[in-house]
Amino acid sequence: MLWVVGERYLSRRDVLRQGVFGAMALGAAGAVSGSVLSACSTSGTPSASGAKRFPVTPTTAPPEVAGSPYWLRGNFAPVTVETTATELSVTGSLPRELAGLYVRNGSNPLKGTSPHWFLGDGMVHGMAIEDGKALWYRNRYVQTGFLKNGGGLGSGAPGGASSLSNVSVGPHAGRLLSLGEVGAPFELDPSDLSTIGPVDFGGKLTGNFTAHPKLDPATGNLHAFGYNFTAPFLTYYVVDKAGNLTTVQDVDIPVATMMHDFAITDSDVIFMDLPVAFDLKKAVEMVSVPGSQAVPFEWKPSLGARLGVMPLGGPTSEIRWVDIDPCYVYHTVNAWREGSNIKLEVCRLDNTFTPPGTPSAATRRIWTIATGGDQLRFSEHILDVPPADLPTIDHRYRGRASTQSWLGEVTSTKGSLSFTGCQHLNTATGKLDRWIPDRGRTSGEWCFVPTGDAEGEGYAMAFVYDPGTNTSSLVVLDAQDVAAGPVAEVALPVRVPYGFHGSFVAA
């Protein structure tokens, strides 16, 4: 069966594969104080595909079109220029221990519009830091197959190189990888954020690849999965420390559900099979109706919800499941073993992909999965902290008992979302530190960068947007004292739209 999409024809398999690209991340950004624009050296280049020509301006003002959806307004709106800025002005003092590249991905539709915030073309924003100086800022489109065909969905069958690649970006095995959630990773050049090309691990990767893989700090192995819209609905991967895809094993689940994240301990993998089901009718509408805002996922609590525990590395045949109350978790914080119990810290929502206005409390919880008996047993503890998401931890503690995390505090208004600042929670002491920027400035995900030996000893950084100047800055906080405010701010001559996930690539 074929559906007409513009002048193209999609097969049923195309549509099933296309699905939605459950990205996630809610967003907000903000910038810092009155930036010293005159101190910056900036150049802009026409973006992306080469066929497109864009004006080169020192700043890119967000369009304000009445009636347009929130992700096309304000600092959600895409920028149209690929900028290179050097000689950046620093307020405060950039710690000399910070040496490397901070890079963050996000959705930035080349066409200027998209059916959903999650469904724009990937654009990475990076800042290189060394010897207390901000060497450069660049933003570059990820040169995916979709982008080269004009950008967005409907410009080619999804999968492989045809990806939006807009969710996260991070290093592994000497490669900087841009990750979507549908399709293959893309390797980027960390020296200028240009795209080297898709990575299919020598042809071994044939399905989708999550944007939230987990690096085991003991082995250097990258554990990952992909969810698909046709069987097999779920596949588990291991990429070894040399960058070889060494494990590809299907996991048996009954229906296609959206899995945005998972977790590992030092001996387990934990999958979350939660009731957001793929909806074929909405998928067809999304790709066949111009201007459609249909999203092909449906909140379906009748499916139930469950957690799957299997040995780290597999085999997937040994997975065991335990039922939980229907809910959705976009992001896990961390997981670890305490004897026969697994502790799994999550940012939990009551539901998602529900009609606007549906209540959905956001809470942080520590789940316990008791694995000692014949059957897994589940219990949970709710943390009394303000709503927050986009968690980051000290990645040296991935899969191990950890006590500290940094999150973007969430404020929702009128169907939109913003991340107003940084939360640092120490679950060992119960202490919650918060930095909420003034003047309506907003942030996003905070990236923790270790500079000392102890857990959490280091800095947290994010792009912060200032609506007063319509520019952004990189803000660096002392990770152990975020409430004290920035230790350094690097002013940018442009704004960085709200985005999703990033990382720090040490020099």
Structure tokens at 236: 């588990």
Between 88 and 344, CB nearer to Fe ion:
344
Calpha distance 198→460 (Å, rounded): 30
Query: What DSSP string runs through 380-411?
Result: EEEE----EEEEE--GGGTTS---EEEEEEEE
CB of residue 315 vs Fe ion: minimum separation in angstroms? 27
9-48 positions binding Fe ion, by CB under 5 A = 24-25
Shortest separation between residue 504's beta carbon and Fe ion, angstroms: 17
From the CB of 330, what's the least distance to Fe ion, in Å?
6
Q: How far is the CB of 22 from Fe ion (least distance, A)?
A: 8
| Cα(199)–Cα(187) distance, integer angstroms | 7
Tokens standing for 467? 């609506």
Pairing of β 328-338 and β 320-324: unpaired
Output 168 or 265, the one with its CB closest to Fe ion: 168
Could you tell me the strand order of the sheet in which 447-450 lies?
90-92, 486-491, 471-478, 458-466, 447-450
The residue among 24 and 305 lying less far from Fe ion, judged by its C-beta, is: 24
Identify which of residues 31 and 167 has a Cβ nearer to Fe ion in the complex.
167
Q: Scanning residues 100 to 159, which ones bind Fe ion (CB under 5 A)?
A: none
Say how far apart CA 80 and CA 70 lie, in whole Å: 18
Nearer to Fe ion, 154 or 444 (CB): 444
Angle at 141 between CA 75 and CA 68, to 5 degrees: 35
Residue 278, CA distances (Å) to 14, 18, 250, 293, 472 in order = 14, 10, 18, 15, 36
Encoded one letter per residue, x for contact with Fe ion by CB under 5 A and - for no contact, window 349-368 reads: --------------------
Nearest approach in angstroms of CB 334 to Fe ion is 15
- Residue 347 pairs in a beta bridge with 331, 364
Closest distance of CB 148 from Fe ion, Å: 25
Q: Tell me the C-alpha distance between 380 and 400, whole Å.
A: 19
Q: How far is the CB of 474 from Fe ion (least distance, A)?
A: 21
Element (H, E) at 286: helix 280-288
Query: Nearer to Fe ion by C-beta: 25 or 72?
Result: 25
Which of residues 276 and 376 has its CB atom nearest to Fe ion in the complex? 276
Minimum Å gap between C-beta 261 and Fe ion is 6
In the block, which residue shows the tokens 């699905």? 19
9 contact partners, CB below 8 Å, separation of at least 6: 2, 3
Pairing between β-strand 305-311 and β-strand 320-324 as defined by DSSP bridges: antiparallel
Residue nearest to Fe ion (CB): 24
Counting Cβ atoms within 10 Å, is residue 12 exposed (0-12), middle (13-18) or buried (19+)? middle
Choose between 113 and 166: whose C-beta lies nearer to Fe ion.
166
Task: Give the residue carrying structure tokens 């002392």.
Answer: 478
Q: How far is the CB of 389 from Fe ion (least distance, A)?
A: 9
Q: Find the DSSP H helices in 57-201.
A: 145-148
The site map against Fe ion for 271-290 (x = CB under 5 A) is --------------------
Q: Compare residues 30 and 408 and give the one whose CB is closer to Fe ion.
A: 408
Measured from the CB of residue 500, what is the shortest distance to Fe ion in angstroms? 6
CB-wise, 331 or 495, nearer to Fe ion? Answer: 331
Adjacent-strand bridge partners of 267: none
Q: How many residues bind Fe ion (CB under 5 A)?
A: 2
The 8-class DSSP code of residue 301 comes to: G
- Rounded to a whole number of angstroms, the minimum distance from the CB of residue 502 to Fe ion is 11
Q: What angle do CA 70, 74, 76 make, to 5 degrees?
A: 60
CB 311, min distance to Fe ion, A? 25
Cβ proximity of 313 and 247 under 8 Å? yes
Contact criterion met (CB below 8 Å) for 423 and 384: no
The DSSP secondary-structure symbol of 34 reads S
Total residue count of the chain as it appears in this document: 507
Between 105 and 472, CB nearer to Fe ion: 105
Query: Quick check: 477 binds Fe ion (CB under 5 A)?
Result: no
Closer residue to Fe ion, CB minimum distance, 25 or 460:
25
Q: In the complex, which residues of this chain contact Fe ion (CB under 5 A)?
A: 24-25
